[in-house]
A = this chain, B = another copy of it.
Amino acid sequence: MTARSFHPPVRTLMGPGPSDVNPRILEAMSRPTIGHLDPQFVAMMDEMKDLLRYAFQTDYELAMPVSAPGSAGMETCFVNLVEAGDKVVVCQNGVFGGRMKENVERCGATPVMVEDEWGKAVDLDKVNDTLKAHPDAKVLAFVHAETSTGAISDARSLARLAREHGCLSIADTVTSLGGSPLKVSEWGLDAVYSGTQKCLSCTPGLSPVTFSERAIATVKNRSSKVQSWFMDLNLVLGYWGSGAKRAYHHTAPVNALYGLHEALVILQEEGIENAWRRHQRNHQALRAGIEAMGLEFVVDEAQRLPQLNSVSIPEGVDDAAVRGRLLQEYGLEIGAGLGPMAGSIWRIGLMGYASNQKNVLLCLGALDAVLSDMKAPVESGVAVEAAMRLYAQLQ
């Protein structure tokens, strides 16, 4: 075998992530590698912590990226805060609540599940009842923005419920960070993890996290060692913490961190409230087009994420064939359904840099053309115009 350099095609990424990466970020990642203990690198790390605090809207001391994808950020939260024998209330309304349950079990702890229908927000009353019934629960864990369904839950109220019942809260904000209002300190969330490849428009591979002081205290006062050496915050903070001297723990992914730094600079330049508004505006335009075609959203309007649009696949339409044609003929990637929703929904991402008018119009135009050509039961030739009218209204 003789392999050659890999030159990827240029795609438009409108799935559940990775989303289109801002070219500034790609360029930043290609800057010269320097040492992970270089004084200039350490200064960049300090600046990145400030930028992450802005993105998370937090004043917590601990704000840093885990050197691995979002699922390692999730695991970092669980393995540090949960010990064998603990009880954790886990809200599940999609794929990622189920992954949280797996994490709890693998810590030797007991998950108490609060199940909600996929596509619905977490039900606050059920959570309240469960916390009342389990006064010994240590942690309440939930997903702010369910990437598998496109539903947002009320993270502010869930954090309040956790505090009222003496629990720490763990929140998955992988898809919400940078796309939907998230105010970590004001809401009093305790351990929050996210990803870089969604509304931060960065490449995948890192997981920003932030921990409250009481979460840190819990990590420091554990009765057992954290089961993961790589994710043990007691060790990681020797490198990412506030101490003057940075101790080697693992070698930081230097160039990926250049990329995340650039993504956070871009977010700061736009202003986070502006980013939230932009995600709403492009969602409204996409929605106008989708509804004009006669397609239906999976999630009720009040619980709908602007950055992840789950749309029901019309009866008789071949999911894979449509996605295949969008990719082949238009270079456009949209997402398939996950788990029980596979084959019945599409997930259309409008995340970060990808949340723009050009993408909305491409997606509607391509979907319209492919579905019409396949004789799907949709209204043809109206979607793009409906979106344009909406943009004009929002001017």
Residues of A within 8 A of B (CB): 1-11, 13, 15, 17-18, 20-21, 24, 26-36, 38-41, 44, 47, 50-51, 54, 67-72, 74-75, 79, 99, 102-103, 105-107, 195, 197, 203-205, 225-230, 248-256, 258-259, 261-262, 264-265, 268, 327, 333, 338
Instruction: State how many angstroms separate the Cβ of A59 from the closest Cβ of chain B.
Output: 13
Given the complex of chains A and B, what is the CA–CA distance between A261 and B203 in angstroms? 16
- Tell me which of B17, B40, B47, B75 contacts A9 (CB under 8 A): B40
C-alpha spacing A33/B75, complex, angstroms: 25
Chain B residue contacts of A75, Cβ below 8 A: 228-230
Whether B253 contacts A203 by the Cβ 8 Å rule is: yes
A-B contact pairs, 15 of them (CB 8 A): A1-B54, A3-B47, A3-B265, A5-B28, A8-B33, A29-B255, A33-B197, A38-B327, A67-B72, A68-B230, A70-B250, A72-B72, A75-B228, A205-B253, A248-B338
Taken together as a complex, chains A and B put the C-alpha atoms of A105 and B225 apart, in Å, by 9
Contacts of A67 in B (CB 8 A): 68-69, 72, 205
SS of A interface (majority): loop
Q: Chain B residues with Cβ under 8 A from A9's Cβ?
A: 32, 34, 40
**B228 contacts A50, C-beta separation under 8 Å:** no
Question: A130 to chain B: closest CB distance in Å?
Answer: 23
Q: Which among A3, A29, A39 has the greatest number of chain B C-beta atoms within 10 A?
A: A3
Are A33 and B20 also in contact (CB < 8 A) when A40-B9, A250-B72 are?
A: yes
B26 engages A69 (CB within 8 Å): no
| A258 cross-chain contacts in B, Cβ below 8 A | 6, 8
Contact yes or no, B255 A26, CB < 8 A: yes
> Are B250 and A4 neighbours in the complex by a CB distance under 8 Å?
no
Q: In the assembled complex, which residues on chain B have CB atoms less than 8 Å from the CB atom of A15?
A: 35
User: Which chain B positions have C-beta within 8 A of A29?
Assistant: 26, 29-30, 255
A76 to chain B, nearest CB (A): 9
